[in-house]
Amino acid sequence: MFLRVFCLCFSLIALAGCGEKENNNGPKPLIVITSPDQPPFEFKDTAQGGDKVIGFDMDIIQKVAEHLGRPLKIIEADFSGIVPSLQSGRADMGIADLSATDERRKSVDFSDPYYTDKKTLLVLEDSTITSEEDLNDKKLGAQLGSTNATLAQKWAASIPGLTVVTLGKGGALVQELKNGRIQALVVTEAAAHKIASSTPGLKIITLKKPEGGPSAIAFPKGSPLIEPTNKALKDMKGDIEQFEKKWFSQ
């Protein structure tokens, strides 16, 4: 009897050990960091009670993970925390409509571009602002750490009385605009259309001087994932076109 119990226990331990070994030998999750407050690129459908991060970037990174044969794990941070998180090794990649600027390249590496954004302004429907040239003596909002904030600071250097207000969350900036604490918000064109369609009382203003740049996936310096990711993006061109139609035509 003792021998049977011993054998049974040994078998269960062995099985448990085998299961753990199988999990350990499986592909490691691809840890991707994002800032889920930039519709339609990455956001949560809170109106439907969902906590899952969805959007254009999320469809792209899911397809990249499939090409790499890795399960996907999304982690969240404020936009300004994405690059530092990659530097510290907290994540394998970062995606959040990130422009591959020369300044950011000092801290992280980038994939080939997968999308080119355009900047625009969001204002209240009754606003007299018709372009960036009307921002004198106004308060302009932009997300902290973004190229939108860089552009806003560039304007502030030449437009009299322009004050730049930066916050970590895009949703908080939209609220500041609605409440009149800022008079305009600089965002990407795709984000502007998504926000305006879901937020009554806002309108989009086209810039007189076009601004924008390529968006790419960010990596810790020297990441071995850059080359296979670039190959995946090249193979995904048809998928990316479909994702653009899905998210930017809503």
DSSP code per residue over 56-112? HHHHHHHHHHHHHT--EEEEE--GGGHHHHHHTTS-SEE-SS-B--HHHHTT-EE--
Are the C-beta atoms of 96 and 41 separated by less than 8 Å? yes
Q: Which class for 10: exposed (0-12), middle (13-18), buried (19 or more C-beta within 10 A)?
A: exposed
What's the CA gap between 61 and 114, in Å, rounded? 11
117-212: what CATH class? Answer: alpha beta
What's the CA gap between 240 and 52, in Å, rounded? 20
CB proximity list for 102: less than 8 A, separation 6 or greater: none
The CATH architecture annotation of domain 28-114+216-248 reads: 3-Layer(aba) Sandwich (3.40)
Give me 67's structure tokens: 């090409």
What's the CA gap between 90 and 83, in Å, rounded? 10
| Number of helices (H), then strands (E), in the chain | 9, 14
**Bond into 214 cis (ω within 30):** no
What's the CA gap between 241 and 250, in Å, rounded? 14
The DSSP symbol for 48 reads: G
* Phi, psi torsion values for 111, nearest 5 degrees: -80, 180
Per-residue pLDDT of the chain (250 residues; tens, 9 = 90+): 433 433 444 343 333 333 333 346 789 999 999 999 989 999 998 766 578 999 999 999 999 999 999 999 999 999 999 999 999 999 999 999 999 999 999 999 999 999 998 999 999 999 999 999 999 999 999 999 999 999 999 999 999 999 999 999 999 999 999 999 999 999 999 999 989 998 999 999 999 998 888 999 999 999 999 999 999 999 999 999 999 999 987 5
Residue type, 188: T
What's the CA gap between 173 and 179, in Å, rounded? 10
Q: Distance from CA of residue 31 to its chain's centroid?
A: 14
Where in the chain is CATH 3.40.190.10?
Answer: 28-114+216-248, 117-212
What's the CA gap between 210 and 100, in Å, rounded? 18
